[in-house]
Amino acid sequence: VDLSVDEEIAALRRRRRAVIVAHNYQPAPVQDIADYVGDSFELSALASQTDAEVIVFCGVHFMAEAAALLAPGRTVVLPDLRAGCPLADTVSPEDVRALRARHPRAAVVAYVNTSAAVKAEADLCVTSANALRVIEALAEDEVIFVPDANLGNFVARHTRKRLITWNGTCRAHNAVRVDDVRTARREHPDAPIVVHPEVPPAVAERADAVLGTGGMLQYVRTHEARRFVIGTEAGILHRMRRENPDKEFHLLSASLWCPTMKYTDLAGVARALRDLEPRIEVPPEVATRARRALERMLELGRRREGG
Ligand code: SF4
């Protein structure tokens, strides 16, 4: 029998007792077949609670690793192994160890966009939504923050703590320009401009709100405006339009497109379900330490809303 790829995914999902999760930046057809679509925090929390045997993670490598850390004993597959995060790749465990040696009194905070090996060197992880609040709550006055310089500088401007930042950036978010904000204000004068903290500081300063993807979805849902300009990866527009059919969404810059997020397709999801490959596993000695950093984030995030 010739099954369509959708039917094949549905049949395999049942047979494998699998859950399919997709990040907000995934291509529209992948979001549409997923059981859950969310931000890094929500998908990590979900992985830690699911009773599915297999987690098909439609996102990038560090996210699938986080799911593997938080759902021990489950099989985590990433449909396309090329789906990495160039931002996460800017920092290595050796880099973090060197920073710690240079600043022995500082707490080490890793953005979730890091490998499990880097998380293992950190005291705790944060997301873009909870970074400021979590860093404020730390006992240390000095904080090493890796790898995103823009998010680090955003936090630094809002706290009295001394932040030691790394110079990583996300190519898509970092390419947004102040001129894009000017153009958007001219073309859509009534539309709030909402940006992700990975954009350059000069752009963030000129926006109406600076939020992680979960926060953005909530912002556009509850705001009375009919039109919005969105300063994060283009994939999120699909979900915004689906959830708010009476509102209009425009992308702040054409640069907001992440190539590695787009490696996932339905054929890859079906293949991953069929072969249970490529499997994402974390060596136990790394996993124990990385899990601790992630669990501290989840615990702080549960006390208030995550992002
Ligand atoms: S959008 Fe940027 S930070 Fe997110 S996965 Fe792509 S490269 Fe990494």
172 lines ligand 1 (CB under 6 A): yes
**E strand spans, 45-84:** 54-58, 75-77
pLDDT at 57 over 90: yes
**Distance between CA atoms of residues 6 and 3, nearest Å:** 8
DSSP-assigned beta bridge partners for residue 20: 56
260 lines ligand 1 (CB under 6 A): yes
DSSP 120: T
pLDDT at 60 over 70: yes
**Distance between CA atoms of residues 67 and 281, nearest Å:** 10
pLDDT at 203 over 80: yes
Question: Ligand 1 centroid vs 129 CA: distance in angstroms?
Answer: 15
Residue whose CA is at the smallest distance from ligand 1 atom 6: 258
C-alpha distances out from residue 231 to 20, 145, 203, Å: 26, 23, 9
Residue whose CA is at the smallest distance from ligand 1 atom 2: 170
112 lines ligand 1 (CB under 6 A): no
Residue whose CA is at the smallest distance from ligand 1 atom 8: 85
64 lines ligand 1 (CB under 6 A): no
pLDDT digits 0-9 by tens, 18-35: 999 999 999 999 999 999
Q: Estimate to the nearest angstrom the gap between the alpha carbon of 167 and the chain centroid.
A: 18
Burial of 20 from C-beta contacts in 10 A (0-12 / 13-18 / 19+):
buried
Element (H, E) at 140: none
Q: What percent of the chain has pLDDT over 70?
A: 97
C-alpha distances out from residue 232 to 115, 127, 235, 257, Å: 22, 15, 9, 8
Cβ atoms of 232 and 173 within 8 Å: the answer is yes
Q: What is the pLDDT of residue 44?
A: 79
**Distance between CA atoms of residues 264 and 140, nearest Å:** 40
Q: What is the pLDDT of residue 306?
A: 39
217 lines ligand 1 (CB under 6 A): no
Question: Ligand 1 centroid vs 170 CA: distance in angstroms?
Answer: 6
Q: How far apart are the first and last CA of the chain?
A: 43
Question: Ligand 1 centroid vs 196 CA: distance in angstroms?
Answer: 11
DSSP-assigned beta bridge partners for residue 279: 77
Question: Ligand 1 centroid vs 85 CA: distance in angstroms?
Answer: 5
Residue 305: pLDDT band by 50, 70, 90 thresholds?
very low
96 backbone dihedrals φ, ψ, rounded to 5°: -70, -40
122 lines ligand 1 (CB under 6 A): no
Short-list 153, 141, 204, 152, CA closest to 176: 204
Overall pTM > 0.85: yes
